[in-house]
Homo-oligomer: A and B are copies of this chain.
Amino acid sequence: MKKLINRPEDVVVESLHGLAAAHGDLLRVSFDPLFVVRADAPVADKVAIVSGGGSGHEPLHAGFVGRGMLDAACPGEVFTSPTPDRIEAATRAVVSGRGALHIVKNYTGDVLNFETAAELCRADGIEVEAVVVADDVAVEDSTFTAGRRGLGTTVLLERLLGAAAERGLGLDALAALARRICDTGRSMGVALTPCTVPAAGRPTFTLADDEIEIGVGIHGEPGRERAKLRPARELMEQVAGAVIDDLPFRDGDDVIVLLNGMGGTPLMELYLLYNELHRIVAAKGLRVRRRLVGNYITSLEMAGFSLTLLKADDELVALWDDPVLTPALRWGC
């Protein structure tokens, strides 16, 4: 295992120390219990947007803490859900009188722990709604998940709900918006290489020199197909086709696109893939209103990519363009 770390058991905490040192103007880190909150939390008269999950997917979630996105993020150990007490503490730290919305990726551990945390909060009079992202079209059930796994729609949801909360929307309106976004976001990923969890010390799976995993999960869970490496054009046709056909996205639809690198993919390759995608969506009559190309929901050093399409309209695009100021995403500020 070749990693830029000290002791494997200290990776998450040491990395968060670095995040705090680099971005103290945007966020603060609580180390006991472990969570990350925006520097000006709690923000008065605003619904708090809270997310979290296993570490190793950076910048998700802690890199999205700040104005116009998350009020709090709860990192777990690498590829391990945060415990309910942390989620509860993070929620308490950021909630004002208007309640909190939990954004949860659909992995069994995350769903259970966020549910427990929400119950603990509610028992104490804090209003909490939760939305579960289950946008990965690759498989119906998976290693750690009943139902579809959560993937890149999470990033778009965190940004859009963060903007809507900043505008003053109430908890019910935010929950309705979140459900609408979850209903119309679709994703799928491809791995060229596995990744290695520091505490395990060996790759999460193996791939031959000419093999790829189509529909891989963000922890390296099996996808639809173990296939031979193929040209980017064919690969993107397969992935974009699966994503588009699933909703389906139709001629005339507006979309927001996330073309995401998994951590070990050169930006040059991501833009090359974007070129293929651009051709495909244009031929399908989809109009790309906004897009992100880069590493946003990663799997440590895994080489590969995932594609997310979200059905958009003028309201979502306007929310998207609102100011955002986080370590990983910033504009308008």
Residues of A within 8 A of B (CB): 2-7, 11-12, 14-19, 21-22, 55-56, 58-59, 63, 78, 192-193, 209-210, 212, 229, 231-233, 235, 263-276, 278, 291, 293, 295, 298, 300-301, 303-305, 327, 330-333
Contact = CB atoms under 8 A, between A and B. Distances in A.
Given A267-B58, A295-B267, A278 B18 contact: yes
A330 B55 CA distance: 26
Given A4-B270, A16-B271, 11 more contacts: A4-B273, A4-B304, A5-B269, A17-B275, A18-B274, A18-B276, A18-B278, A18-B293, A58-B266, A264-B264, A267-B295
Contacts of A298: 266-267
Contact of A58 (B268, B274, B303): B268
Contacts of A333: 331-332
A21 B274 contact: yes
B4 A235 contact: yes
B263 A266 contact: yes
A233 B18 CA distance: 12
A265 B295 CA distance: 11
The 6 closest A-B pairs by CB, nearest first: A18-B275, A18-B271, A18-B274, A58-B267, A21-B278, A4-B269
Nearest to A212: B2
Given A293-B22, A295-B295, A300 B192 contact: no
A232 B192 contact: no
A317 to B, nearest CB: 13
A2 B332 CA distance: 38
Nearest to A329: B330
A264 B5 contact: no
B264 A301 contact: yes
Contacts of A78: 268
* Max count, chain B CB within 10 A of own CB: residue among A235, A273, A275: A275
Which of A16, A17, A18, A229 neighbours the largest number of chain B CB atoms within 10 Å of its CB?
A18
A127 B76 CA distance: 56
A4 B232 contact: yes
Contact of A14 (B6, B56, B272, B291): B272
Contacts of A17: 275, 278
A195 to B, nearest CB: 8
Contacts of A22: 271, 274, 278, 291, 293
Contacts of A192: 2-4
Contacts of A265: 4, 301
A301 B303 contact: yes
Contacts of A278: 17-18, 21-22
A12 to B, nearest CB: 8
